[in-house]
Amino acid sequence: MFWLTSHVAYWTGLTFFALSLEKALSKSHIAIVVIYHRITDGDEFPTPLSELQRGDSVEVFERQIKCVRRWFRPSTIGELIGFVDGKDPVDSDLFVVTFDDGYRDNLTIAAPILMRLSVPAVVFLATAFIDTSNRFWWVRLTDLLQTVSPVHWDRIRAEVDWPKGLQPLVDSLTVGTWDDRRQSRRVLGKAFFRLELDQTVRLLDELEALTGTRGEAGMPMLTWKEVEEILEKGFDVGGHTENHPLLTRVSPDVVVEEVEKCLSVIESKVHVKPVSFAYPAGDHADEVVRLLEQSNFQVSFTARPGTISPGSPDRHALPRLYLSVESRPEILAMVLLLKLSKHVPSVILPLLRKSLGDFALV
C-alpha cells in the first residue's frame, strides 16, 4: 500500500509539490537522526545467511542520503546539540547520519560518499570490538547456522543445557535447507536477544566447541588508526558501550561501567571527548536513561522512530529512524511524512512508528 501510494504521489509530482509547499510555508523546524550499521557492496556475502550481516547496500545508502539531503540540512552532532538545547535557531530542518558498532566499511565505503555529498556523520563505537577481530554474538550465531552439519545440529539439540524455555524452541528448528537455516537463525536470534549477554556468550562458546565451527574470518571492524582517520575527515565518534550488552538487562553498576569504560577508552585511544551515545539495539528504560544523564555524554540516542523538536526534554532518549525504504518514491514519501509530523504529530508519528518499527537487532 505504501509502495503504491508513494509511487503514484511521486510520478504525479504530488510529493514534490507537497514538500515544496511545506518548505515555503513552514516556520518551525525539526531534526531527524538516521541509523545505519554496515554499508556494503555485496560481493563479500556469498551465502544466503551471510546476507543477514550485509547491512545496507551502497546504492540504497547513497540514494537515501541524496533524497533526505535535498529536504533536510546535513548537520553535525554539535549543531544538533545546540538545536536540542533550544539555543541555536536554525533556518531549516536538520538531519544527522549515524552508524552503530564501528565497522570498517563506515570509513572505506560510506565516508567517501558522505564527503562527496558534504554530509557529516557520527560513528558510535562498541570499544571492545574496535581494532580486534572479535565477532558480535549475532554474527557468531549466523556463522554457526551457516556451517553446522545436520549431525552436529542434532548433537546441539540433545547435549546442550539450554536456558529455561529454550529447549522446545530448539527442538523445533532444523538445518536441512538454507530456508531452514535462515529460519533457525531468526528464531534463535530473537531468543538470544532476550538473554543476558554473558549467558549468550557462554552458550555460543559451548555451541562452537561442540560443532567445531569457529568463524575464522572475524569482523571487519575499524582499527583505532582508522578511527583517527574518521576524525581527520571531520566526522564525529560517539559511545556505544564497551561490550554491547542490552543495558536494560544488566545491573546499574554494569551500565555505569560499560558507559564510563567506553568513554575513557575512546579518550585515551584517539584523544577526543565523545559527546554522544547510542544505546545498543536502542534498548533503554527510565533507570538507564537516568544513569546516562549523570554521564559525560551530552545526548543519547534510542532506536525509537520519531523526530526531534528544539528544546527537547528527552536529550538522553532521542529518537532515531531506520530508513527501511529503498526506492526514490518511497524515500521521498517518508521524507514528506517526517515533514508533516511537524504539523500533525498525533497522526503522523504513530503512522511512522507503525511503518518503521523500533529497530529490532544490533
> Smallest distance, Å, CB 190 to Zn ion?
16
Residue 185, strand partner residues = none
Cβ nearer to Zn ion, comparing 145 with 221? 221
**Cβ closest to Zn ion, residue 61 vs residue 83:** 61
H or E element that contains 347: helix 345-356
Find the residue with minimal CB distance to Zn ion.
Answer: 100
Looking at beta carbons only, is 93 or 101 nearer to Zn ion? 101
Query: Shortest gap between Cβ of 103 and Zn ion (angstroms)?
Result: 10
State the nearest-atom distance from the C-beta of 193 to Zn ion, in Å.
12
Q: How far is CA 309 from CA 16, 33, 82, 83, in A?
A: 24, 12, 11, 8
43: its cell numbers: 560481493
DSSP 223: P
Residue closer to Zn ion (CB basis): 166 or 361: 361
Cell, residue 32? 531527524
Find the shortest distance in angstroms from Cβ 280 to Zn ion.
Answer: 5
Give the SS3 label for residue 299. Answer: strand
Q: Tell me the three cell numbers of residue 174.
A: 532444523
Least gap, CB of 100 to Zn ion (angstroms) = 4
φ, ψ (nearest 5 deg) of residue 26: -75, 135
Question: Looking at beta carbons only, is 83 or 301 nearer to Zn ion?
Answer: 301
Pairing of strands 299-301, 276-278: parallel
Kindly state the smallest distance separating residue 361's Cβ from Zn ion, in Å: 9
Query: Of the two residues 74 and 282, which places its CB atom closer to Zn ion in the complex?
Result: 282
* Cα-only R_g, the chain: 21
| Cα gap 227→225, rounded to integer Å | 5
Q: How far apart are CA 149 and CA 327, in angstroms?
A: 38
> Which among 52, 213, 207 has a CA at the least distance from the CA of 147?
213
Select 100 or 143, whichever has its Cβ closest to Zn ion: 100
What nine digits make up the cell of 80? 544538533
Q: How far is the CB of 278 from Zn ion (least distance, A)?
A: 7
Contacts with Zn ion, residue ranges (CB under 5 A)? 100-101, 280, 362
